[in-house]
Amino acid sequence: MNIRLQHGPRYVAVSLFCIVFNNALLIGLDWTGVHYGAAVLISAAVMIPLSYALHCMLTFATEPGWRAFARYSAVLIVNTPIAWLLFLLVHDWGAMPMLFAAPVVTGLLFVWNFFTSGWAIAPRSRVKSSL
pLDDT at 51: 94
CA distances from 53 to 15, 20, 27, 28, 59 (A): 12, 16, 23, 23, 10
pLDDT at 5: 52
**Each residue of 66-77: pLDDT tens digit?**
999 999 999 888
- pLDDT bin (cut points 50, 70, 90) of residue 119 is confident
Q: What angle do CA 93, 112, 41 make, to 5 degrees?
A: 80
Full-model pTM: 0.70
Domains of the chain: which residue ranges? 2-126
pLDDT at 69: 95
Mean pLDDT in residue range 88-114: 83
CA distances from 94 to 89, 91, 99, 113, 119 (A): 6, 5, 13, 23, 31
- pLDDT bin (cut points 50, 70, 90) of residue 131 is very low
